[in-house]
Structure 1
Amino acid sequence: MQESLKIKVFVSPLVRSQLEMDVQDYKLRGLGELCNRIIARFPELEPMRKGESSEELYKNCPPLQFYVRKENADFLRFAQERNFKKGTLCRHYFEEYVNLSRGDRECFLQRDLLQKVNAAIEAKENLFIGYRDAVLHVAPCFVAFSPSRVRAYLVVCEEANRVSEAFRALRISHMKSVVADPKSEAFHLSSFALSKQAELFREHFDPFLCYGKEVLVRLNETGIDLLRRAVTNRPPFERVKGLDGVYRFQCSEKLAQIYFPQFLENAEILSPQSLREWFLTRFQKAMVLYRKA
């Protein structure tokens, strides 16, 4: 891709560090690509006002340098028309970008793909989505965020025999391509049960799509103590009356596979059976590994 004007931007160490982390997290080619993607969408960010930014505050900060791509000519024209220094204007938009929540930054960088997603939702069509190392044929349902907008997700529906297996939440930052499939009706609109489930997930969203799903677990005293302390990814739970040490968790199998391995022998998965068998298989493999030692 052709490049043109080279710009030197003095930014704070905090802003530079966040930009560098985003380059790594979103697997971009470098700071130049990220900087160009930010200024390409400058109208979506809070505008800079005259006299708002002082070069004196940043004179001791090491400069960030990148080439402005020719397709970002509108940004250069805007700076010239407003009589803004290009480096100062870039710094303002970099700071505005960094001040967005992480989930909002993911959506900001994936705006072109999300526009195609929203068009498919409006048209009630399925999509082919390049996701990580696979291509998924899915119906987009809605965009949602984790608590504090730390992650952005696209909830989709796949063709499946059971409603419980049809939905998944995709990380928006991992989407690589979006192609419309106008020949097929959105999967989740093909039945009342699927469309109802999509609405329930929208109303009660969590990244693991736990709403309406239950896992029964028997804990010993050590397990009960660990349950009180292990709060990361802990699903909502209640003690089952009349059953000693048995707890009911509002939890998908995917979340259970992440949360409960730390309990080892202090927790027994009672149901669903498919999850119980998953743990049985994993512990058997671990047993074989340790017996070899």
Structure 2
Amino acid sequence: MSTLPLKIKTQIPNYIHEILHKDIYSFNMKKNTLCNLIFENLYNDHDKWSFNREFSRVVQFRLHKSNNELFKQIWNTDVVNTHNRSEYFRNLFATYVNFPAYIREKKLYRSDVQCIERAIKNKKNIIIDYNDEKRKLEPYLIINNTEEEFNYLFGYCYKHGEYRNYRLSNVSCLSVVDENWEHEDREYLNKIKNNFDPFLSHEKEIKVKFTDEGLDLFENVIYHNRPKILEKKGNIYTLECSYKKAEAYFGSFFDKVEILSPSEIRDKFKKNLKKTLKKYKK
């Protein structure tokens, strides 16, 4: 096969299309980028699938130059288990979407994962790019929250002087630095491993008071990121919850919950609510 067009077109079932679009949104990337990354990471590691449903969707994208050359090299080899280009990419996408979300993410960001894991193995620091800013970290764990379905890089951030979580898809591992870790707390790390919370709520407490409607939301409606209950007395609950988790979870409760303590979190909520109220007075 001497020449191949850069443009790829294949028909897929609707369920594959839905997961691909979910990942485009979740990982904040363009369709073309996602499809190329899937090819890069699975071109020689995919299954052949049988489909008992109609192909109701079409995926079209262009291979990047390097991927186009790679595709030329593997075509008509044992890596490709079909002579039909559309079928090949359909099998590729089907293999990809059948992985759990956190595995899909690791495959898409394989080079970053390898960089971070190499540093963890040797207990060395790394330089990452985060929001177009370089930061130095002691990387301890790549860990996933089954509720979130995402991977997180947990480590000590030198800029902020504290332990922090970063969404794997939001960082790029630029380099491993020949510097040994200085802030590893093995006991704390074990607690993080055994009870992982992306908001780092471990041993942090808040006390809240629900209205009856707010309590119903907490108990029966809004499950995502719900804080762990430590104690409850009527409509007053003590929860294991950091400020960031409280902000993410209780932001949609409005007047149906009141933060009682600690005072610094209560004051932050009051300040944010005043800012919101100002917008509606314009």
1:137 positional shift = 1.8
Task: Give the TM-score normalised by the residue count of structure 1.
Answer: 0.77
For 1:22 and 1:75, locate their aligned partners in 2 and report how far apart those are by CA, in whole Å: 27
Identity %: 24
CA 1:170–1:4 in structure 2 vs 1: closer, same or farther (change >3 Å)? farther
**What's the counterpart of residue 176 of structure 1?**
172
What secondary structure does 2:158 align onto?
coil
The 5 Å alignment of 1:222-237 reads: 222-232=213-223, 233-237=225-229
**What's the counterpart of residue 181 of structure 2?**
186
CA 1:44–1:263 in structure 2 vs 1: closer, same or farther (change >3 Å)? same
What secondary structure does 1:262 align onto?
coil
Question: Contact 2:24–2:30 at 8 Å: present in 1 too?
Answer: yes
AA of the residue aligned to 1:102: A
2:248 counterpart (258, 279, 290): 258
Structure with bigger gyration radius: 1
CA 1:276–1:28 in structure 2 vs 1: closer, same or farther (change >3 Å)? closer
Residue 89 of structure 2 is aligned to residue 90 of structure 1: yes
1:129 positional shift = 1.2
**What's the counterpart of residue 217 of structure 1?**
208
AA of the residue aligned to 2:227: P
Q: Which moved more, 1:203-212 or 1:106-115?
A: 203-212
Residue 1 of structure 2 is aligned to residue 11 of structure 1: no
Q: Which moved more, 1:33-42 or 1:220-229?
A: 220-229
1:237 positional shift = 1.2
For 1:97 and 1:236, locate their aligned partners in 2 and report how far apart those are by CA, in whole Å: 33
Query: Residue deviations 1:132-173, cap 9 Å, x none?
Result: 343322121111222267222222222388xxx722221112
**What's the counterpart of residue 268 of structure 1?**
258
**What's the counterpart of residue 41 of structure 2?**
41
Instruction: Give the gaps of 5 or more residues in structure 1.
Output: none
Bigger fraction of residues in helix: 1
CA 1:237–1:29 in structure 2 vs 1: closer, same or farther (change >3 Å)? closer
1:278 counterpart (253, 265, 268): 268
Q: Which moved more, 1:255-264 or 1:93-102?
A: 255-264
The 5 Å alignment of 1:49-128 reads: 53=50, 62=58, 64=60, 66-67=62-63, 68-76=67-75, 78-79=77-78, 84-128=83-127
**What's the counterpart of residue 239 of structure 1?**
231
For 1:210 and 1:248, locate their aligned partners in 2 and report how far apart those are by CA, in whole Å: 13
Question: Contact 1:126–1:187 at 8 Å: present in 2 too?
Answer: no
1:179 positional shift = 1.9
AA of the residue aligned to 2:69: K
Query: Residue deviations 1:5-52, cap 9 Å, x none?
Result: 445433234324433443454344543x4333222222674433xxx5
For 2:147 and 2:138, locate their aligned partners in 1 and report how far apart those are by CA, in whole Å: 26
Question: Contact 2:135–2:159 at 8 Å: present in 1 too?
Answer: no
Question: Contact 2:115–2:173 at 8 Å: present in 1 too?
Answer: no
Task: Give the TM-score normalised by the residue count of structure 2.
Answer: 0.80
1:260 positional shift = 2.3
1:248 positional shift = 0.8
Q: How many residues align?
A: 275
